[in-house]
């Protein structure tokens, strides 16, 4: 039996770059939109059982909306001006925000039998993991390299 060859799909680099940039802009726009909606909605919109654990956060729900809005704005601006570190930071901030919600929804589901059990998956995979992958991709383009100080350079 012969081994298969040429089985790896090769994606055109320009297409791959377009996909990554498009996904980053989509996720950044999502964060901006949901941040604005949270800020406009106010506390009354989050009175369901599923939000009870998240509402224990200081400044909730305003703090959630502000975090998402700022993170999305940073990521989107980074994609528009070509600052890969800014995109990476914004995507990581969106992923952190999504992790907070995933954990909060899981806590609520464990506390209350009537609470939503699917939201934690939504915030974990399509939002959190996708943003982490994008953060890693953008960070790898311009990683922060810490320079070692030799004993001769030390003050």
Indicate whether 10 belongs to any domain.
no
Query: Domain residues for 84?
Result: 24-141
pTM for the model = 0.87
Nearest to 108 by CA among 46, 153, 26: 46
97 is a domain residue: yes
- What pLDDT, on the 0 to 100 scale, is given for residue 152? 65
Identify the CA nearest to 20 among candidates 77, 89, 70, 79.
Answer: 79
| Total tally of structural domains belonging to the chain | 1
Distances (CA, A) of 78 to 30, 44, 120: 15, 33, 28
Return all residues near 72 (Cβ < 8 A) that are at least 6 apart: 27, 28, 29, 30, 31, 32, 33, 35, 90, 94
Whether 3 is covered by a domain: the verdict is: no
- pLDDT computed for residue 153 by the predictor: 59
Asked if the structure places residue 45 within a domain, the reply is yes
Question: In this structure, what token pair is assigned to residue 59?
Answer: 């400044």
Measured between alpha carbons, how far is 42 from 48 in angstroms, rounded to an integer? 13
Sign of CA dihedral 122, 123, 128, 134: positive
- Give the model's pLDDT for residue 9: 77
Residues in the chain predicted with pLDDT less than 70, given as ranges, are 1-4, 6-7, 150-155
151 is a domain residue: no
Looking at residue 149, what is its pLDDT?
A: 72
The answer to the question of residue 6 being in a domain is no
113 domain-assigned: yes
The pLDDT score that the predictor gives to residue 148 is 78
73 belongs to a structural domain:
yes
């Amino acid at each position: 039996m012969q081994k298969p060859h040429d089985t790896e799909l090769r994606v055109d680099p320009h297409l791959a770059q377009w996909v990554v940039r498009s996904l980053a802009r989509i996720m950044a726009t999502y964060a901006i939109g949901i941040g604005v909606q949270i800020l406009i909605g106010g506390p009354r919109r989050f009175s369901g059982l599923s939000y009870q654990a998240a509402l224990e956060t200081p400044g909730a729900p305003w703090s959630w909306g502000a975090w998402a809005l700022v993170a999305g704005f940073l990521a989107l601006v980074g994609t528009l001006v070509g600052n890969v570190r800014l995109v990476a930071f914004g995507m990581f901030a969106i992923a952190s925000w999504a992790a907070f919600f995933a954990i909060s929804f899981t806590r609520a589901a464990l506390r209350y039998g009537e609470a939503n059990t699917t939201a934690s998956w939504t915030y974990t995979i399509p939002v959190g993991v996708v943003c982490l992958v994008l953060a890693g991709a953008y960070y790898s383009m311009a990683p922060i390299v810490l320079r070692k100080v030799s004993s001769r350079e030390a003050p």
